Chain A
Amino acid sequence: MGGISDQSAFKQDAPLLAVDTLSVSFRQEDGVSTPVRDVSLTLHQGETLALVGESGSGKSVTSLAIMGLLPRPAGFISSGKIRFQTRAKQTVDLAQLSFDGMRQLRGREMAMIFQEPMTSLNPVLTIGEQIAETVRLHLGLSGRALQTHVKAQLDLVEIPDAARRMDDYPHQMSGGMRQRVMIALAMACQPSLLIADEPTTALDVTIQAQILLLIDRLRRETGMAVLFITHNLGVVAEIADRVTVMYAGQVVETAQTVPLFRKAAHPYTSALLSCLPARAKADASGLRRLVPITGQPGVFGKACAFAPRCPHAAALCETHPPELELTDGGAVRCLRWRELA
């Protein structure tokens, strides 16, 4: 299982991040639930990996676990490893790291941006003050050097007229500008890993396109890795080198972006791609129609979680849980993937 990282396109160097059979559980009144089960994924320096899934697939919980931001005390890592290579070229297991150790890395070597910037920005501080606070904390700058660094951060994320906008409060800015501020905060200490959780979902289309370009430009310029969490397959096609698809808390497929969109290996990935309006096919009467995934989300099979909704499910799929198997350049969790290829 742990060998998946060896299969990526960047096999020459050790991955920056290697999540290995990670399970995340939550203590609840009526017992323990495990919304993330046996998740493995890798991310190399300079690479963008899209983590794709619908509601409840576990993609956001996975990212919170990596960042050490699971809601305490209910959420906890129940098994698995999260190996992260630090700047000092040491490999640490984030799943075992102490609270303080994690705090050392967060913001400095790994940073996260969210869908709604307002939830992470402080409404009573100007954006200049907020960036200054982060920079002071992590880089120990002060005085003029600090101010220069703050302005440089705003320039970096292409906020026009940065010297003046430093004195703005978050509520005085548009959604797109606030997302830029969030990115400036995340980039303040030049992290080697940026986790972006649906950062463009709440934005208008023309603004979304700007933010996607910005994130990609920063990745190219700094060599950071981006874990981009999204439900939007269009965004995946725009930004990702590789894709990891989740369903019901498990990874069902990992592949390079182009082959995945050409021909997905897992029936869920293919079915999801068929739901894209751009892939509608004309029926007998000439009306373009989609092929929706049947059944309800949240109805999970006992062995293969997708089996109840899978057009290719066989009797075996109801009894034998599929393992994540290596494919040519990726991985797939399906008993029938070879037959279906």
Chain B
Amino acid sequence: MTTPLLSISHLSKSFPTSRGIVQAVDDVSFSIAAGEAFGLVGESGSGKSTIGRLALGLITPTAGDIRFSGQSINGLSERALKPFRRQAQMVFQDPYSSLNPRLRVRDIIGEALDTHALAQDRRDARIAELLDMVGLNASHATRYPHEFSGGQRQRIGIARALAVEPRLLIADEPVSALDVSVQAQIITLLQDLRRHLGLALLFISHDLDIVELLCERVAVLYLGRIMETGPTVQVMKTPRHPYSRALLAAVPKADPEAPRVKRLVAGDIPSPLNPPSGCVFRTRCFYAEGPCASDRPVLAPLDAGWQSACLRDPLPEHE
């Protein structure tokens, strides 16, 4: 087996708060092969954004291991992390606050080049190349962020991420602040970049339709744990875990003639400060039984690379 580009095993992260400890990520494992697109989906408190920040080494895990091409980044100093930072770059949700308003585009992108001492002899040419790659042009280099629309700013953010020639792009809700028409432009850009540069993608999103379009594999998270993971087609078309089913059923279908959902999951997402015992989804699950409150389900294999963490699997047909 080839070594995955990114390998995350038994990753946990807790944050102390004034009201107690939040277990943001709880024993999460997955890996991403070179050139592969992996989606992390979940609602508030699922831990999907925290996983993205952990994978970049921006915060340190409470437990578990993160490896790039087989090498662990655990406990590395900022200096020792630097080569790994070049391998993985982040694209943020908010194209308005993630760019320094006082820098021109050429300096926003140039800064990334300078940090890693790249293309110093042909800096302007490289910046023009990067702008072209994201559908902007060299004339944009001398402008400031406020002169651009939201979609164009997200393109600048992507150009900045690409400047250091990463092998993995971590994109945390990169299109959720954008209008539908602009979303489509950025999704298409990400598809083109993957095809041309062989980039791997960790795509963090609450939008299941976009994940289905972009990603080969997916993990469905709920309150810091993976409920189900596998090939996107299988998880999205034939979800196995009760939460995956509930989540997919709740997504509004852009087809007024599609059959309406009969049964919706009730109640609020519990506070991550005080998650339910046993299976964290049991308080909203139609199938929960006694043991679900005491026993913690583990991910069990269903098919090649497809796993679900449910004590009641396989679920009864009519319940």
Say yes or no: is B191 at the interface (Cβ < 8 Å to chain A): yes
| Given A177-B268, A290-B184, A297-B181, also A278-B209 (CB < 8 A) | yes
Would B43 and A204 count as touching, CB distance under 8 A? yes
Closest 5 CB pairs of A and B: A234-B252, A275-B184, A292-B184, A277-B209, A54-B179
Contact of A237 among B43, B253, B266, B267 (CB under 8 A): B253
Tell whether A276 is near chain B: CB-to-CB under 8 Å: yes
Selected from A207, A238, A271, A279, the residue in CB contact (under 8 A) with B181 is A271
Expressed in whole angstroms, the minimum distance between the Cβ of B35 and any Cβ of chain A is 13
* With A206-B250, A296-B151 as contacts: A213 and B183 at CB distance below 8 Å: no
Instruction: Decide if A280 is an interface residue (CB 8 Å cutoff).
Output: yes
| B256 and A209 form a contact (CB under 8 A) | no
Q: How far is the CA of A238 from the CA of B82 in the complex (A)?
A: 48
Q: Nearest-CB distance from B242 to chain A (Å)?
A: 12
Interchain residue pairs with CB less than 8 A apart (15): A176-B268, A177-B268, A210-B266, A213-B264, A234-B209, A236-B254, A258-B256, A261-B256, A275-B184, A277-B209, A278-B253, A289-B188, A290-B184, A297-B181, A297-B182
Known: A207-B268, A212-B252, A289-B191. A275 touches B247 (CB 8 A): no
Q: Are A296 and B209 in contact (CB under 8 A)?
A: no
B54 interface residue (CB < 8 Å to A): no
Chain B residues contacting A274 (CB-CB under 8 Å) are: 184
Q: How far is the CA of A298 from the CA of B149 in the complex (A)?
A: 9
Residues of A within 8 A of B185 (CB): 292-293
**In contact, A204 and B266 (Cβ under 8 angstroms):** no
Question: B315 at interface (Cβ–Cβ under 8 A)?
Answer: no
- Give the residues in chain B near A204, CB-CB below 8 Å: 43-44, 206, 269
Given contacts A210-B266, A275-B181, contact A205 B250 (CB under 8 A): yes
Known: A288-B213, A289-B188, A297-B179. 17 other contacts (CB 8 A): A54-B181, A55-B179, A206-B250, A208-B252, A210-B266, A213-B264, A231-B179, A237-B254, A261-B257, A272-B180, A275-B183, A275-B184, A277-B210, A278-B254, A278-B255, A296-B149, A296-B151
* A206 vs B187: C-alpha distance when bound (angstroms): 24
Closest to A299 in B: B149
Q: How far is the CB of B125 from chain A (nearest CB, A)?
A: 26
Residue on B with the closest CB to A57? Answer: B179
Q: How far is the CA of A290 from the CA of B265 in the complex (A)?
A: 31
A233 touches which of B180, B210, B246, B261 (Cβ 8 Å): B180
Whether the pair A276, B254 counts as a contact (CB closer than 8 A) is: yes
Contacts of A234 in B (CB 8 A): 209, 251-254
Which B-chain residue is minimally distant from A298 (CB atoms)?
Answer: B149
- How distant is the Cα of A257 from the Cα of B69 in the complex, in angstroms? 50
| A277–B268 touching, CB < 8 Å | no
Whether A208 contacts B250 in the complex (CB less than 8 A), given A297-B151, A298-B149, comes out as yes
Render B156-171 as a binary contact track against A, CB cut-off 8 A, 1 for contact: 0000000000000000
- A residues in contact with B195, CB < 8 Å: 287
Among candidates A174, A233, A289, A293, residue contacting B254 with C-beta atoms closer than 8 Å: A233
Q: Interface code A195-225, partner B: CB below 8 Å = 1, 0 otherwise?
A: 0000000001111111011000000000000
Nearest chain A residue, comparing its CB with the CB of B269: A204
B94 is an interface residue with CB less than 8 A from chain A: no
Chain B positions within 8 Å of A162 at CB level? none
CB proximity of A22 to chain B, nearest CB, Å: 23
In this assembly, does B124 line the interface, its C-beta being within 8 Å of a C-beta of chain A? Answer: no
Across the interface, which residues of A come within 8 angstroms of B261, CB to CB?
209
* Structural contact, B254 and A206, CB atoms closer than 8 A: no
Complex-state Cα separation, A279 to B181, whole angstroms = 13
Q: Which residues of A contact B191 (CB under 8 A)?
A: 287, 289
Task: Report A-chain residues with C-beta under 8 Å of the C-beta of B27.
Answer: none
Q: Does A163 contact B (CB under 8 A)?
A: no
Q: How far is the CA of A52 from the CA of B195 in the complex (A)?
A: 34
A291 interface residue (CB < 8 Å to B) = yes
The interface residues of chain A lying within 8 Å CB-to-CB of B152 are: 296
Max chain A Cβ within 10 angstroms of own Cβ: one of B180, B249, B261: B180
Residues of B with C-beta under 8 A to A296 = 149, 151-152
Contacts of B180 in A (CB 8 A): 54, 231, 233, 272, 275-276
Q: Which B263-311 residues have C-beta < 8 A from chain A?
A: 264-269, 284
A226 to chain B, nearest CB (A): 16
Closest residue of chain B to A296 (Cβ to Cβ) is B149
Residue from A206, A212, A276, A292 in contact with B209 in the complex, judged by beta carbons closer than 8 Å: A276
Given the interface contacts A261-B257, A292-B188, does A205 sit within 8 Å of B247 by beta carbon?
A: yes
Task: Give the chain B neighbours of A177 by CB distance below 8 A.
Answer: 268
B245 CB, min distance to chain A CBs, angstroms: 11
Contacts of A288 in B (CB 8 A): 213
* A146 CB-CB contact with B under 8 Å: no
Inter-subunit contact A232/B187 (CB<8 Å): no
Assembled-state Cα–Cα distance A291/B265 (Å): 34
- Asked whether, in the complex, the Cβ of A206 is within 8 Å of the Cβ of B184, the reply is no
Q: Is A92 an interface residue (CB 8 A)?
A: no
State whether the Cβ of B129 lies closer than 8 Å to any Cβ in chain A.
no
Write out the residue numbers on chain B whose beta carbons fall within 8 Å of the beta carbon of A174.
Answer: 268-269
Is A235 at the interface (CB under 8 A from chain B)?
Answer: yes
A54: chain B residues at CB < 8 Å are 179-182
Q: Kindly report which residue of chain A lies nearest to residue B42, judged by CB atoms.
A: A204
Per-position binary interface string of chain A over residues 129-172, scored 1 when its CB falls under 8 Å from any chain B CB and 0 otherwise: 00000000000000000000000000000001000000000000
A234-247 to B contact mask, C-beta < 8 Å, 1/0: 11111010000000
Please pick, from B254, B258, B264, the residue contacting A210 in the complex, using a CB distance under 8 A.
B264
Give Cα A261 to B267, complex, Å: 31
- Measured between C-beta atoms, what is the minimum distance from A205 to chain B in Å? 5
Shortest distance in angstroms between A236's beta carbon and chain B's nearest beta carbon? 8
